[in-house]
Amino acid sequence: MSKDDNSTGFDCRQAFADELAALARDDARIVAVCNDSVGSSNLVAFRKAFPDRLVNVGIAEQNMVGVAAGLANGGFRPFVCAASPFLTGRALEQIKADIVYSDFPVVLCGMSPGMAYGELGPTHHSIEDLAWTRAIGDLAVIVPADPDETRAAMRWAVAAERPCFMRIGRTKVPAVSPAGQGFELGRSVLLRAGADITLVAIGTMVARALDAAERLAERGISARVINAASVKPLDEALLLAAARETRGIVTIEEAVVHGGLGSAVAELVSQHHPTPMRIMGVDGFAPTGSAAYLFEHFGLTASNIAQRAADLLRTH
Amino acid sequence: MHMHMQLTPDEAARAAAPLAADATAIAQWRRRREEIAGAAGAHRVELLRAASTHIRRQVLATINAAGLGHVGGDLSVTDILVTLFDALLNIDPARPSWAQRDRFILSKGHCAAALYSVLAASGFFAAERLAHFAAPLSPLNGHPNRRKIPGVETNTGPLGHGLPVGVGCATAAQIGGQPWRTYVVLGDGELQEGSNWEAAMYAAQRGLGGLTAIVDRNRLQQGATTADTNELEPLADKWRAFGWETHEVDGHSHAELLAVLAALPGERPRAVIANTVKGKGVSFMENGVEWHHKVPSTAQLAAAMKELAT
């Protein structure tokens, strides 16, 4: 299958649902908190297995996040499960004050992020969530790339006992994580070695970056590929090594190009080892269209990633 | 006016030091609680009134020293806080994170000086630390921070945050079969924030009998009356319509507050509209909208202290 094709592959919400149930079986402190999103967050099985531990506040995101803080105060370990645009946009001050500044161990799960709800329009796109969450205190910001990494990040989050935000993808993706990869905050994963240029991607874009590296290899360009699932904090050592050892960095994210992964990498390398960069993502509101259509629209395809990388090398 | 700018290096280091329980103050608080619990009606009220006067004096001194604060609301909420901490809350200042403690949340976090004065009077930390209110690097931030101040359950300051968190605390008790009760004190102007009503709906939906919301109904917000800004009335009807057991009391009557707050939890969450006077206890501050966050001068402090003589 072409890695640009998101009609097949895995919906990370299923892995999320399976892992949440598994975690809840082992740990009575785990509760799910949602905003009338039992279906869209894939919580039907969780509700059946743990009816008392599903807290559905209805369509009220500010209350949802505040309630999660209170549940954590009372000894529980909440996973807040809600469509990412509403979790982050509507309840941003609750995330800041009640979760991060108050320092409660709550896992904020932004479901169906990016342009997963492409046809529903910009109100339902969550392309600002990385910029918003990355600005808040020491909130961990995590974008898993596939089902295995989603599960590993969830296990890490329970053990970490700290506020974190993670995107849970709805757009189907192929498996990209090497077996046994796991998840550690502040660690990126080198998926492909390369000496000429570095592609740094997250979430749905990781498979496309790998595909782009194949295409570049056909053109004689050796591209390094890094999965930067830990958007905050970044893996500074791995990224600075890439800045030193290759001739440029292209970042690719399903988010606005202001304040997300590309900005984070630029903040790092511009201050410690300046290197030419291209930041690929979304600029402005996206039009209506399926996620696949919008990826094409914004040039978030393997062929265009390869082209931008080759252009960067040619002009520097 | 702002004394913190003149802190000596030693004093600055003391201001930044972490807060710790004060064993002497805890012992005094325990004795006071026992005495209040054992006293007959009229005497009990006298004891609570004396405790309130002490807190009001502490608030005024604290704000005068810091050069900032929200004195009007501090004085309106004082009797509510004193009733809770000196007669009702099941807490142990020596063990602020005891799992089964009652949860108290001051949603109107700008009235931190009143909360800090009451926490100090309960021994969560030494009263002398009130001199460091809002000083550089002080744990006694302008709004409460739970990681720095023992006895604080959640960080408040932006309005409309306390009740949702309180609903979470009460839900945790309900799911876990735990005995604690949750009390949230809200400002009345704060009820203009929609998040409160999201929380109110859901508290009734869950039948959170362990949750009590107390509204400090002083009828003034920052720049004007609530009536002239965004009318809250009929306020009791609103809470009732949201499914809450609703009471109205004189928020400066310890007896009335005690009677309604000490009642056993019912099937529904409980709202107590405590009618209060902003600036209560200091004649020239009472009902004065300018005293929302005006700082008393040294002369005004002396005049206020005279009115609050013990």
List phi, psi (to 5°) of A159: -70, -30
Place A4 in a pLDDT band, splitting at 50, 70 and 90: low
Mean pLDDT computed over every residue of chain B: 96
The whole-number pLDDT of residue B3 equals: 53
What CATH number labels A189-315? 3.40.50.920
B155 contacts in A (CB within 8 Å)? 97-98, 101-102
In this prediction, residue A5 carries a pLDDT of 63
Domain boundaries, chain A: 12-168, 189-315
- Residue matched to tokens 């893996």: A235
What are the tens digits of pLDDT across the range B49-106?
999 999 999 999 999 999 999 999 999 999 999 999 999 999 999 999 999 999 999 9
Which of the residues B110, B192, B198 would you substitute to probe the A interface, choosing the one with the greatest number of A C-beta atoms within 10 Å? B198
Q: What is the pTM of this model?
A: 0.97
| Rounded CA separation B108/B196 (Å) | 12
Across the interface, whether the CB atoms of A55 and B166 are under 8 A apart is answered: no
Tell whether the model's pLDDT for residue B302 goes beyond 90. Answer: yes
Q: What is the DSSP letter of B40?
A: -
Q: pLDDT tens-digit profile of A129-157?
A: 999 999 999 999 999 999 999 999 999 99
- Assigned CATH for B23-307: 3.40.50.970
Q: pLDDT > 70: what percent of chain B? A: 98
Q: Which residue, among A63, A71, A106, would best test binding to B if mutated, counting the most B CBs under 10 Å from its CB?
A: A63
For residue B116, the model assigns a pLDDT of: 98
Q: Does residue A217 surpass a pLDDT of 90?
A: yes
Nearest Cα residue to A126 out of A89, A95, A94: A89
**Does the beta-carbon distance from B167 to A67 stay under 8 Å?**
yes
B110 vs A: CB within 8 A: no
What value does the mean pLDDT take over residues A5-29? Answer: 91
Q: How far apart are CA A8 and CA A2, in angstroms?
A: 10
Amino acid occupying residue A144:
P
* A74 interaction partners in chain B (CB closer than 8 Å): 103, 168-169, 171-173, 176, 178, 180
Which residues of chain A are at the B interface, by a Cβ-Cβ cutoff of 8 Å? 31, 52-53, 55, 57-58, 60, 62-63, 65-76, 93-94, 97-98, 101-104
The mean per-residue pLDDT over the stretch A211-220 comes to: 98
Question: Distance (Å, rounded) from C-alpha A37 to C-alpha A59?
Answer: 8
Q: Which CATH number fits domain A12-168: 3.40.50.970, 3.40.50.1100, 3.40.800.10, 1.10.1270.20?
A: 3.40.50.970
In this model, does residue B23 exceed pLDDT 60?
A: yes
Q: Does B118 touch chain A (CB under 8 A)?
A: no
Q: Does A189-315 match A12-168 at the fold level?
A: yes
At residue A40, the pLDDT reads 86
pLDDT in tens, B152-190: 999 999 999 999 999 999 999 999 999 999 999 999 999
Q: pLDDT tens across A295-311, in order?
A: 999 999 999 999 999 99
- What is the model's pLDDT at position A84? 97
The pLDDT value given to residue B8? 87
Distance from CA of A66 to the nearest CA of B (A): 4
**Residue B1 — pLDDT band, cuts 50, 70, 90?**
very low
- A223-227/A197-201 β-pairing: parallel
Q: Name chain A contacts of B165, Cβ cutoff 8 Å.
A: 66-67, 69-70, 73, 98
Which residues 163-182 of B have a C-beta within 8 angstroms of A? 163-173, 175-176, 178, 180, 182
Report the C-alpha gap between B161 and B148 in whole angstroms. Answer: 19
What are the DSSP calls for B133-197, one per residue? TT-TT-SS-SS--TTTSTT--S---STT-HHHHHHHHHHHHHHHT----EEEEEESGGGGSHHHH
Helix (H) or strand (E) holding A250: strand A249-256
Q: Report the interhelical angle of B71-83 vs B254-261 (nearest 10°).
A: 60
At residue A78's C-alpha, the angle toward residues A73 and A79, to 5°, is 155
Q: Is the pLDDT confidence value at B10 over 80?
A: yes
B88 closest CA partner among B270, B277, B276: B270
pLDDT at A1: 41
- Residue to mutate among B165, B192, B242, with most A CBs inside 10 A, is B165
CA distance B60 to chain A (A): 28
Answer yes or no: do B171 and A67 touch at CB < 8 A. yes
Q: Which residues of A touch B202 (CB under 8 A)?
A: 57-58, 60, 63, 67
Q: pLDDT value at position A10?
A: 87
CB atoms within 10 A of CB B209: 19
* Residue B221: pLDDT band with limits 50, 70, 90: very high
Instruction: Among A36, A57, A67, A138, pick the best mutation site for testing chain B contact (most B Cβ within 10 A).
Output: A67
Please check whether residue B205 touches A, CB under 8 A.
Answer: yes
